[in-house]
């Protein structure tokens, strides 16, 4: 056996890192929220080509650099710092946050630190709400940092752990209310939706990375279904707004989308809805002689949303 082959056959002396656990820190506060997944937040160089002399030869090199957004899926328990960040973003206070994602192994020991600075929230995504679901739910935020840094972990123990409280919210525990439409509390499903924050990247002077500035907030439409027997008020609203063309301010409503604990006796947090209008109402496709509930599908356009709830540390 040659020496080169013996050298290549030498067993590795280092153990590979495994995926395991994460810890989130925001502005110096360590959150105990359970992080289900973390992705992105890395530096990406933008290559350009330049011709050399009168030949066809070209020189390729990096010109500008940008930082990819970071996506975080998290449980709501212990996530008060995240909720306060989302709340300020929706209120157009645009608080920039700095923090760190610490990656840990299955022994909860730090293996890598991913620091971010002066980040803005790009998107807050809520999962589908379904009264028949039995699974635990997680929220997702996408953030855009101005600066990121990667470091090897120190080996310290992570503070965030997965406890029983992380399963306190399921997508089946919700209620929808609109003024004058009390029957909407029997809505059985609301499709997944996202609130998006526009961000403009500005290259200034000799800075290698762009500065980021917030622009407009985009509030989504809410699409849901409800049993036809509870849709009388919705049908009346449909007749006035969509059939007869009622368009003044009185045609719009205010309301809230409540997220409840598994007992449905306590509101953990809620999204307040303003300037709510009806975009469409239709009967969901059904099959003759099928054993199923006949439902209506409705779509609501929202002018503004705000977030509150003492159950997640908000006032």
In a domain, 177, yes or no: yes
In a domain, 49, yes or no: no
Confidence label for 133 from pLDDT (cuts 50, 70 and 90): confident
In a domain, 112, yes or no: yes
In a domain, 51, yes or no: no
Q: How far from 93 is each of 14, 186, 216, CA to CA, in Å?
A: 47, 34, 12
Instruction: Note the pLDDT of residue 45.
Output: 85
User: What is the arithmetic mean of pLDDT over 124-135?
Assistant: 91
Share of the chain above pLDDT 70, in %: 88
Question: What value does the mean pLDDT of the chain take?
Answer: 86
Q: Which of 160-174, 210-224, 291-305 has the lowest mean pLDDT?
A: 160-174
- Tell whether the model's pLDDT for residue 272 goes beyond 70: yes
Which secondary-structure segment (H or E) carries 103?
Answer: strand 97-104
Higher pLDDT, 169 or 296: 296
Which secondary-structure segment (H or E) carries 119?
Answer: strand 110-126
In a domain, 54, yes or no: no
Share of the chain above pLDDT 90, in %: 51
In a domain, 109, yes or no: yes
Confidence label for 160 from pLDDT (cuts 50, 70 and 90): low
Question: Is the model's pTM score more than 0.75?
Answer: yes
In a domain, 52, yes or no: no
Q: Which of 6-20, 197-211, 237-251 has the lowest mean pLDDT?
A: 6-20
Range of the domain at 115: 3-44+62-312
Q: How many domains does the chain have?
A: 1
In a domain, 56, yes or no: no
Calculate ∠ Cα 147-153-158, nearest 5°. 100
Instruction: Note the pLDDT of residue 60.
Output: 84
For every residue of 186-250, DSSP letters joined together read G--EE--EEEEEEEEEE--TT-SS-EEEEEEEEPPPEEEEEEGGG-HHHHHHHIIIIIS---SGG
* CB contact set of 278 (below 8 Å; sequence gap of 6+): 234, 237, 238, 241, 242, 298, 299, 300
């Amino acid at each position: 056996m040659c020496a080169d082959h013996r050298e290549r056959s030498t067993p590795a002396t280092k153990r590979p890192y495994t995926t395991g656990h994460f810890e989130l820190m925001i502005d110096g506060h360590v959150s105990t929220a359970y992080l289900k997944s973390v992705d992105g937040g890395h530096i990406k160089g933008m290559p350009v080509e330049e011709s050399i002399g009168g030949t066809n030869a070209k020189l390729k090199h990096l010109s500008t650099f940008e930082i990819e957004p970071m996506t975080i899926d998290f449980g709501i328990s212990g996530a008060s710092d995240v909720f306060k960040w989302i709340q300020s973003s929706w209120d157009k206070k645009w608080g920039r946050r700095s923090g760190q994602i610490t990656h840990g192994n299955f022994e909860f020991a730090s293996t890598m630190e991913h620091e971010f600075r002066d980040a803005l929230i790009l998107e807050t995504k809520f999962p589908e709400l379904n009264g028949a679901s039995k699974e635990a739910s997680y929220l997702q935020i996408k953030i855009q940092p101005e600066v990121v840094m990667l470091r090897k972990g120190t080996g310290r123990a992570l503070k965030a752990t997965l406890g029983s409280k992380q399963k306190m919210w399921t997508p089946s525990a919700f209620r929808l209310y609109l003024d004058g439409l009390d029957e909407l509390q029997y809505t059985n499903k609301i499709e997944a939706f996202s609130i998006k924050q526009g961000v403009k990247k500005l290259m200034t002077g000799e800075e290698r990375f762009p500065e980021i500035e917030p622009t407009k907030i985009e509030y989504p439409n809410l699409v849901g279904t409800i049993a036809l027997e509870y849709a009388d008020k919705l049908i009346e609203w449909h007749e006035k707004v969509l059939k007869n063309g009622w368009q003044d301010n009185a045609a719009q409503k205010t309301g809230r989308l409540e997220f409840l604990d598994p007992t449905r006796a306590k509101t953990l947090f809620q999204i307040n809805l303003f300037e709510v209008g009806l975009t469409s109402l239709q009967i969901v496709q059904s099959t003759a002689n099928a054993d199923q509930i006949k439902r209506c599908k409705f779509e609501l356009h929202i002018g503004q949303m705000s977030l509150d709830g003492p159950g997640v540390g908000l006032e």
